[in-house]
Amino acid sequence: MAVDLDKRRRPTWQEIKTDMFACRGGLCYSQNAFMFALLTAIGLDVSMTRGTCVNPTNQHNNHLCLLIHGLFSPNDTFLADVAMGYAMPRVISLDFETESPEYTDSFQTYKFVKDGDTVVFKGKTKKSIRAGDIQTADVQMEGGEDADADDKLSSAREWKTRYHFTLSDLHKELETLDSDFDMIYTDVTKLVFHSSPRSMHWPGSRFFAIIELEFITENSTRTLVKTNISQNLPDDVKPSVEYFE
């Protein structure tokens, strides 16, 4: 993604390995493919499955995530996803009937809902604020200043669909996904990253991102704070910036 638009293409497996070992990161195709190989190498039964992220392009099969089979018992299934752009530092049991428990990690509360063979990932977050804004997370959230941070985050805004996938869409070979991701990497209308440079990480389990001309950081109340890169950074942002120096 760091080359000219007309030279972009789906990375090879060797390029994926090189980038991962160099800690360069990558899109879901690279990161979850690498995690698939890693988990398979240590003896787990893992499949890749295509997801569809909700986005303005309405492009299907634009996300890659993993299903782990028989992790604790012969017939169980767990979701693993290390490359969604939302923190999910856990495997998620998919052995529920219609709706999973709610989880809170970083700035998002999320859950999963089944509709037949389809699993839908839903999340909700607090409204972000601008650095220097007099509003605080407590003012924006239901529950008032004395409410617990998890409770306030759980009541934040409405549930939004992040992506969905099909439990029966199982792949053991990366090559079977080539046609879907060739389009993602080469058609600039199918992926926001082509025209909107961005990088994200979770140093100290808190979200930090650079998106176009903004730093976005997660504060102690799990609120995302936006700061224009041209502005002076607040003190609580500096430790996150130093992490990358």
Tens of pLDDT, residue by residue over 45-72, are 999 999 999 876 668 899 999 999 999 9
The reported pLDDT for the residue numbered 10 is 94
Per-chain mean pLDDT for the chain: 84
Who's near 224: CB < 8 A, 6+ residues apart?
107, 125, 126, 128, 129, 207, 216, 217, 218
Nearest of 121, 137, 42, 41 to residue 87 by alpha carbon: 121
pLDDT at position 115 over 90: yes
**Rounded-to-integer distance, Cα 128 and Cα 117, Å:** 34
CB contact at 8 A, 20 and 26: yes
Sign for the pseudo-dihedral over CA of 35, 41, 42, 46: positive
Distance CA 183, CA 203 (A): 32
Give the mean pLDDT of 152-157: 53
Q: What pLDDT is stored for residue 119 in this prediction? A: 98
The predicted-structure confidence for 160-205, as pLDDT tens digits, reads as follows 999 999 999 999 999 999 999 998 899 888 888 888 888 888 988 8
Per-residue pLDDT of 14-47, as tens digits, reads: 999 999 999 988 999 999 999 999 999 999 999 9
pLDDT tens-place string over residues 138-150? 322 233 333 455 5
Domain annotation for the chain: domains and CATH numbers: 5-128+156-191 (3.30.2140.20)
Residue-level pLDDT at 3: 80
Q: Which residues contact 88 (CB under 8 A, 6 or more apart)?
A: 81, 82, 105, 110
pLDDT at 13 over 70: yes
| Higher-scoring residue by pLDDT: 117, 137 | 117
Please report, rounded to a whole number, the percentage of residues in the chain having pLDDT higher than 90. Answer: 57
